[in-house]
Amino acid sequence: MLETSGRNKLSDLAQIIIGEGYKRVMVFCDTKFNTATLANQLARLGFSVDCLHGDLSQKERNQIMQNFRDGKLAILVATDVAARGIDVSDVDAVINYDVPEENEHYTHRIGRTGRARKQGASYLFYTKEEQKRVDQLLRLTRNTDDCKSVKFDFNHEHLKIEDTAPADKFQIKAYF
């Protein structure tokens, strides 16, 4: 989980992809507009990206999915509805750019990574105002123990697990 804000979300997303060295990433947004907008912003930053949403024809969706499977696209930005049935192996990371409205959408989204006995990471971006919904989402999907809060280091280059230990306890911070 990464607490972020509207003005920092795009840069946080780009830094996670670059800093963690991800080669194949799926990013989920809550609306068609946000999906298309984010894909355009990432393309302007030089990422190989396309998007899936409900306004695309089946032929367009199939072509985009084939490009993603073939490795011609590094990033696929999608809405929940458009992402149904996506079966791509070797997805390094799933990023929940928007907190999903439905609990089942969250489970469906994060299930896109870590397939075929391969490891993958999933991230959940949220704002301070969404903290209550995120806590509820994680509790209802039984992900409270698996989900850790992360923050960027001082230089905003790498993620680190947020230190939740009491101040008088020694704890090694993990980097990934």
Q: What is the mean pLDDT of the chain?
A: 77
Look at 24 and 106; give whichever has higher pLDDT: 24
pTM of the entire predicted model: 0.77
Residue-wise pLDDT tens digits, 107-126: 555 655 544 455 668 888 88
d(CA 99, CA 122): 13
d(CA 45, CA 88): 24
pLDDT for res 128 = 85
DSSP tally for the chain: helices H, then strands E: 5, 8
Q: Which residues, in sequence order, are CB contacts of 102 under 8 Å at separation 6+?
A: 80
